[in-house]
Amino acid sequence: MNIIVCVKQVPDTNEVRIDPVKNTLIRDGVPSILNPDDANALEEALKIKDENPDTYVTVLTMGPPQAKEMLAECLAMGADEGILLSDRALGGSDTWATSNALAKGIKKIGNYDLIFAGRQAIDGDTAQVGPQLAEKLDIPQVTYVKECRISGKDIIVKRALENGYENIKIQMPCLLTAIKELNNPRYMSVLGIYRACRQEVSVWSAKDIAISEEEAGLEASPTNVFKSFTPAPKGKGITIEGDTPKEIISSLIGKLKEKHII
Amino acid sequence: MAINIIEEKCKGCGLCIKSCPFDAIEMKDKLAVINEKCTVCGQCPESCPFDAIEKTEAEEAEAADLSAYKDVWVYAEQREGKLMNVALELLGEGYRLSREIGNVKVCALLIGDGIENLAKECYAYGADKVYLIEDPLLSRYTTDGYTKVITDAIKEYKPEIVLFGATHIGRDLAPRAAARLNTGLTADCTRLDVKTSSYIEYLAKNTTLDVAGLDGATDDRGLKQTRPAFGGNLMATILCPNTRPQMSTVRPGVMTKREKEDSASGELVKVSHDLKARDIRTEVLEAVKTAKELVSLVDAEVIVSGGRGLGDAGGFKLIEKLAEKVGGVVGASRAAVDSGWIQPAHQVGQTGTTVKPKIYIACGISGAIQHLAGMQTSDIIIAINKDEEAPIFEVADYAIIGDLHKIIPEMIEQWAE
């Protein structure tokens, strides 16, 4: 069985702070990480490989050359091969253009039975590339997958809804997007790290995947950023003073009552 | 459209590198160089003291004929014959936008089986028109079935704007449909504007952006879609200039419903379709509602949230007790969820649920931007944290600096008095 896992390297947005004086982002020291939902996507592929050793797991990403580091991490977790789509011509792609590029990359990879992706990346939070990639490849999809079981040529998945879940049967080849509940991603193994160090990841350019200017990159993208700004900070409130917790809380409750909040 | 470095002016000072949220500027031979991570967000030109960075606008693209596209559509999501709240909110927003454009209608797109009765509710919340697509194959949501009938209807009736609720289903359907229509889609919008004048007003009120370059009198009717980006650290306004329809998803709880008008009526259009069973490549074997209603953070009036400062999973016992006492729902920061202390369904923030309760009590949450992005529009924010430098205090109305393990029990004790 051939599985392709689509991943993205993202800045850890949890670690970003705002400079309170200048109201700008402080990005210094913010690490780049494997997008959390994508780690769940990869883990599920690796679990399938654990049970079916003839499974081949390819990890695919699009990004700048530094994304190789993340692919090496995926190899160290147990993936068989890493492919990076990297080209200035692909830069600035929106989700439509990104899904075009990934679809071309997947067509170059060739045979696949199953594609995993994370539900969404923490830097954009759009959750759009997965479904759009499935559309470009004309294969069925299930998003928000929290359980997954292979049954012959079909897969039975549990899809999370806001107030419950659905059990869905989907035929392969198909695309599934993973949420955190799906599994606990494994750590890199020592053997895996050793292997990853000796293995090159492939880097494919726009030309390699035969994608045209009308399909990917900034100019091809149907959406573009018109303005961007840091939201104006809300005015600072008041600090509740008091010598003991008891005093503090009674002061707080007094203030809330005064303003008819409670 | 691109960001260009004017090499003669660049002094290699590196200020632009710090200003870039996307790590897209590097220094090479003492000159700034833009790399492929650039999204042309426009932060760096403002940061350059030497005017060495310019943002060039796209050349006027061959104006595609967009005039054939009219009306604002709202995907009126229903589950088991009941309209989702977000659909009613979007009808309110769609009504507002349609009146801003002028001379166009707001239309509800209703899909399912045996749901014609819901049309009346759509009219009552503002719809001028309802497009109804019914079939036994559509009785339950499937990506393939719904995408097909929606995209066929959009091709036939040509709306200029289509809005979806950013529910699990909306976020499955909208991207797939936008990809099939080869048009743009903007996720999780928190503000939509058609009139440039009202957009300028919004910018002037909420940002430090220079709005001098914007023409409030223009007759441009493009949709300005504003959303949090980069984990809520930035807001970005997105345009979809050359393709139609312009499509957006909007999170539940962000837009405002109109006052219900029971006597309202409108025009019903029954849309024909040629959906066949074989078009649907998935089969829903079973749909299960969780016995215990999932945490409804969106509708909660009071939320008590816990973060890393709780120390361990046991800390949530305290949060639960307080939530029970104040009649609230339990929330959590991403850090607490990542530590495995509580289920992800409780997560508040840009990656989790966006909330705006009347009272938000943040306990031991430092206030990562991505958390703040999901809760800072709460009416009243009470924050408890040991660290007086914690960013959560920047948005808190009431700050309590101290040990939550001592403060919370006291709060439980005194709240009812």
pLDDT digits (tens, 9 = 90+) for A91-129: 989 999 999 999 999 999 999 999 999 999 988 889 999
Confidence grade of residue A231 (pLDDT, cut at 50, 70, 90): confident
CB contact under 8 A, B176 and A134: yes
Q: What phi-psi label fits residue B220: left (phi over 0), alpha (psi between -120 and 50 degrees) or beta?
A: beta
Residue of B152, B333, B285 lying closest to A170 (CA atoms) = B285
pLDDT computed for residue B230 by the predictor: 75
User: How many domains, chain A?
Assistant: 2
Q: Give the C-alpha separation, B214 to B212, whole Å.
A: 6
| Percentage of chain A exceeding pLDDT 70 | 94
**By CB neighbour count within 10 A (0-12 exposed, 13-18 middle, 19+ buried), where does B139 fall?**
middle
| Within-domain flag for A225 | no
Strands A164-171 and A154-161: antiparallel
Nearest-Å Rg of the Cα atoms of chain B is 24
Q: CA quadruple B361, B364, B367, B371: dihedral positive or negative?
A: negative
In sequence order, which ranges of A163-258 are alpha helices (DSSP H)? 190-198, 245-258
DSSP per-residue string spanning A45-76 = HHHHHHHSTT-EEEEEEES-TTHHHHHHHHHH
Residues A169, A247 within the same domain = no
Which residues does A110 contact at the CB level (< 8 Å), separation at least 6? none
Residues A42, A84 within the same domain = yes
Confidence grade of residue A19 (pLDDT, cut at 50, 70, 90): low
CB contact under 8 A, A167 and B284: yes
pLDDT computed for residue B67 by the predictor: 87
Contacts of B402 in chain A (CB under 8 A): 245, 248
- By Cβ distance, the residue of A168, A223, A232 closest to B238 is A223
Q: CA quadruple A45, A48, A50, A52: dihedral positive or negative?
A: negative
CB contact under 8 A, B42 and A228: yes
pLDDT at A23 over 80: no
Contacts of B223 in chain A (CB under 8 A): none
8 A C-beta contact, residue A113 and residue A119: no
8 A C-beta contact, residue B391 and residue B414: no
pLDDT computed for residue B137 by the predictor: 97
Residues A248, A172 within the same domain = no
Q: Give the C-alpha separation, A28 to B23, whole Å.
A: 10
Residues A51, A170 within the same domain = yes
Q: Which of A188, A204, A220 is where one domain is finished?
A: A204
- By Cβ distance, the residue of B232, B233, B402 closest to A245 is B402
| Within-domain flag for A210 | no
| Within-domain flag for A213 | no
Residues A77, A196 within the same domain = yes
Positions in chain B short of pLDDT 50 = 61, 291
Q: Give the C-alpha separation, B70 to B194, whole Å.
A: 13
| Within-domain flag for A93 | yes
- By Cβ distance, the residue of A64, A221, A238 closest to B36 is A64
**By CB neighbour count within 10 A (0-12 exposed, 13-18 middle, 19+ buried), where does B409 fall?**
middle
| Within-domain flag for A215 | no
Residues A116, A169 within the same domain = yes
A208 touching B (Cβ < 8 Å): no
A40 touching B (Cβ < 8 Å): no
> Edge to edge, what strands does the sheet with A114-118 contain?
A202-204, A81-85, A56-62, A2-6, A114-118, A174-178, A141-151, A154-161, A164-171, B282-289
Q: Find the angle CA(B237)-CA(B238)-CA(B240) to the nearest 5 degrees.
A: 150
Instruction: Show the domain range for A236.
Output: 232-262
Interface test with B, best of A10, A162, A240 (most B CBs within 10 A): A162
Higher confidence at residue A258 or residue B319?
B319
CB contact under 8 A, B399 and A240: yes
**CA distances from residue B235 to B42, B45, B54 in whole angstroms, order as listed:** 12, 17, 20
**CA distances from residue A12 to A36, A117, B116, B346 in whole angstroms, order as listed:** 9, 18, 47, 20
Contacts of B175 in chain A (CB under 8 A): 95, 126-132, 135
CB contact under 8 A, B168 and A15: no
Tell me which chain B residue has its CA closest to the CA of residue A140. B281
Residue of B156, B134, B151 lying closest to B185 (CA atoms) = B151
pLDDT at A15 over 60: yes
Residues A9, A103 within the same domain = yes
Q: Give the C-alpha separation, B51 to B296, whole Å.
A: 49
Residues A197, A109 within the same domain = yes
CB count within 10 Å of CB A20 equals 12
pLDDT computed for residue B35 by the predictor: 83
Residues A57, A162 within the same domain = yes
A252 touching B (Cβ < 8 Å): yes
**CA distances from residue B299 to A141, B254, B296, B356, B363 in whole angstroms, order as listed:** 30, 11, 6, 8, 20
For A188-221, how does the pLDDT look when each residue is reduced to its tens digit (9 = 90+)? 999 999 999 999 999 999 999 999 999 999 999 9
A232 touching B (Cβ < 8 Å): yes
Tell me which chain A residue has its CA closest to the CA of residue B345. A162
Residues A110, A160 within the same domain = yes
What six digits make up the tokens of B411? 């709060």
- Supply the angle between the helices B143-157 and B170-181 in degrees, to the nearest 10: 50
CB contact under 8 A, B410 and A221: no
pLDDT computed for residue B29 by the predictor: 87
CB contact under 8 A, B236 and A228: yes
Tell me which chain A residue has its CA closest to the CA of residue B234. A230
Nearest Cα of chain A lies from the Cα of B268 at a distance, in angstroms, of 30
| Within-domain flag for A79 | yes
A162 touching B (Cβ < 8 Å): yes
DSSP helix/strand/coil, A251: helix
Q: Which of A204, A224, A250 is where one domain is finished?
A: A204
Residues A245, A148 within the same domain = no
Q: What is the CATH number of the domain that holds A86?
A: 3.40.50.620
The gap between the terminal CA atoms of chain A, to the nearest Å, is 60
For the stretch A148-155, contacts whose Cβ atoms lie closer than 8 Å and that sit 24 or more positions apart, written own/partner, are: A148/A44, A148/A176, A148/A182, A150/A48, A155/A114
**By CB neighbour count within 10 A (0-12 exposed, 13-18 middle, 19+ buried), where does B353 fall?**
buried
A243 touching B (Cβ < 8 Å): no
pLDDT computed for residue A65 by the predictor: 93
Interface test with B, best of A252, A255, A258, A260 (most B CBs within 10 A): A252
Residues A127, A7 within the same domain = yes
Residue B26, CA atoms < 13 Å, CB-side half-sphere = 8
Q: What phi-psi label fits residue B173: left (phi over 0), alpha (psi between -120 and 50 degrees) or beta?
A: alpha
CB contact under 8 A, B185 and A28: no
Q: Give the C-alpha separation, B94 to B74, whole Å.
A: 7
Q: What is the pTM of this model?
A: 0.83
Q: Give the C-alpha separation, B334 to B313, whole Å.
A: 13
For B197-228, how does the pLDDT look when each residue is reduced to its tens digit (9 = 90+)? 999 998 888 777 778 778 888 888 899 999 98
DSSP class of B348: B
| Within-domain flag for A252 | yes
| Within-domain flag for A76 | yes
Contacts of A85 in chain B (CB under 8 A): none
pLDDT at A21 over 80: no
What six digits make up the tokens of A157? 């998945």
What six digits make up the tokens of B53? 């960075």
Domains recognised in chain B with CATH numbers: 2-56 (3.30.70.20), 72-275 (3.40.50.620), 302-414 (3.40.50.1220)
Contacts of A11 in chain B (CB under 8 A): 23, 230
8 A C-beta contact, residue A44 and residue A148: yes
pLDDT at A232 over 80: no
